Amino acid sequence: MFGTDISMDLVIQYGLQAASGLLILGIGAFLAKAAGRYTHKTLEKFEMEPPVQLLLVRIVKGIIFLFTLLVMLQQFGIQIFPLIAGLGVVGVGIGLALQGVFLNLFAGLSIIMTKPFRVGEFIDILGEHGEVQSIDIFTTKLRHIDQSIVVIPNRKIIGEILHNYGKIRQLNLTVGVAYATNLSQALATVTGVVNANPRVVQDPAPVIGVGQLGDSSINIAVKPWVAVSDYVPAQAELYQAIVEAFGTDRIQIPFPQREIRMLNAS
């Protein structure tokens, strides 16, 4: 009977401790969520990048939840200060293991603050190129022309040579005409085709002119600017329209020609 009373006392004692611990944990989770919402609303009043806002909100919620966890552990009679000292030693090892993560974090904050590129711009870095889809705390995502996604750790970007094309790119098209062609007419035809395409940006103005004197043709360089998303379809549309316009205006696109001379050895 005496043993049964002790067991009941222990069940009641630890049951109450567990219930109070869960209650503290629940209150802490509620406070962390409420503080996160308040922090988010407060930061929206400032001109701050979304990833930075998200990081600060997570830090606030993490601090509150950690404090709640320590209070809950104390409720179970666990000494907090020796635990904190032990966690400090363990934290050094964890910090060394997560060195790459921290480097990505600091690099991400540097990219967000200095803004060497923005979402929607086309960049070329580390042998990779594409349209910037997102800039997160740890990684930057690029979309290739073939719609595949390249994920680059932010620490790889800092300190590298970056080519930022912005939100427009210049096409580099070439079309050849015969040497007997009226160049003024050919250039006027190409200019009309380029200006008629709705994908072509008029500012800066397209660059159109003789680019090279080839073996069999005069090569006309056609270099208009288009939005990053229009880079591939604009090339196909312009080439087709130029060929059709040349056919209408009877401008010849010559085939490669070679002149062979036979020498009489006798």
pLDDT at position 2, please?
A: 44
Q: Calculate the alpha carbon distances from 236 to 165, 171, 197, 242 in Å.
A: 21, 11, 11, 10
Q: Which CATH class is domain 2-97?
A: mainly alpha
pLDDT at position 96, please?
A: 46
Q: How does pLDDT run across 207-249, given as a tens digit for each residue? A: 999 988 888 889 999 999 999 889 989 999 999 999 999 989 8
Angular region, 147: left φ>0, alpha ψ -120 to 50, beta rest: left
| Structure tokens belonging to residue 186 | 């050919």
Ranges for all domains in the chain classified under CATH 1.10.287:
2-97
Please list the ranges in the chain whose pLDDT falls under 50: 1-3, 92, 94-97
pLDDT at position 74, please?
A: 67
Pick the CATH number of 116-166 from 2.30.30.60, 2.40.128.50, 3.40.50.970, 2.40.10.220: 2.30.30.60
pLDDT at position 127, please?
A: 86
Distance of alpha carbon 199 from alpha carbon 253, whole angstroms: 25
Ranges for all domains in the chain classified under CATH 3.30.70.100:
168-249
pLDDT at position 113, please?
A: 79
pLDDT at position 48, please?
A: 58
pLDDT at position 62, please?
A: 75
Distance of alpha carbon 197 from alpha carbon 200, whole angstroms: 6
Ranges for all domains in the chain classified under CATH 2.30.30.60:
116-166
| DSSP string covering 141-169 | EEE-TTS-EEEEEHHHHTTS--EEEETEE
Q: How does pLDDT run across 52-69, given as a tens digit for each residue? A: 667 677 777 777 777 777
Q: Calculate the alpha carbon distances from 142 to 114, 119, 123, 131, 136 in Å.
A: 19, 9, 8, 5, 12
> Can you tell me whether residue 131 is helix, strand or coil?
strand
Provide the CATH number for the domain formed by 168-249 in this structure.
Answer: 3.30.70.100
Cβ(20)–Cβ(57) below 8 Å: no
